[in-house]
Amino acid sequence: MGCCTGRCTLIFLCSLQLLAALERQIFDFLGFQWAPILGNFLQIIVVILGLFGTIQFRPRYIVVYTVWTALWVTWNVFIICFYLEVGGLSKETDLMTFNISMHRSWWREHGPGCIRRVVRPSAPGILDDYSYVSVTGCIIDFQYLEVIHSAIQILLSLIGFVYACYVISIFMEEEDSFDFIGGLDTYSYRQPPQEHVELKPVKPVGRSK
């Protein structure tokens, strides 16, 4: 019963993590956030691997999921520090795009209640196709939305880490018990050594006349 409960809970948590990673991947693609896109891609692969290992009783796959979960929590803590500008980090840098482009989070212009306006500069000497984007009326700033996404990922990962360790221990105990029972069965069904029987030639008996 404990194994079934732990497996079912871990399967449910992996499913939630997969949905959360897919949702985050979509919005990171829209914002051209290449570093989070790479991290989300690895997260999706490892979560699928952990889900497969849980369903198919493969503890090694769950171990890989457990190790990656620790790294995933560290990455999301870094994202929180990045958007809250902790430790000298700045959300205005191009770190999330690998300094390839100047794109920012998709939520910066499309958050709840945000009104996006394109303002063309009127100053002379500026190209006509150059424009500014003005965003007003946002109910919640984009950095806090990113922090909420990362916090949800951390929460799911920590719970998944605990249940993954529990399921691994259950699987290992079951494997040990199966090996023990198999060893007893092999010993009990082992046939005793046969005794050597000495054969002697027998003289044929003559027929009576």
Instruction: Please state the φ and ψ torsions of residue 100, each to the nearest 5 degrees.
Output: -85, -40
What CA–CA distance (Å, rounded) separates 166 from 174?
13
User: Mean pLDDT of residues grouped by 10 in the chain (209 residues)?
Assistant: 75 96 95 94 97 93 96 97 92 87 85 84 53 80 95 97 94 72 46 56 58
End-to-end Cα separation, the chain, in angstroms: 83
In one letter, which amino acid is 181?
Answer: I
Q: Residue 154 — left, alpha, or beta (φ > 0 → left; ψ -120 to 50 → alpha)?
A: alpha
Q: Residue 87 — left, alpha, or beta (φ > 0 → left; ψ -120 to 50 → alpha)?
A: left
Tell me if 18 sits within 8 A of 51, measured CB to CB. yes
Hey, CA dihedral for 159, 161, 165, 170, is it positive or negative?
A: positive
Task: Quote the pLDDT of residue 188.
Answer: 43
- pTM, to two decimals: 0.77
Residue that the structure tokens 């949905």 belong to: 19
Domain boundaries, the chain: 1-86+104-120+131-187
What CA–CA distance (Å, rounded) separates 51 from 12?
9
- For residue 117, give the DSSP letter: E
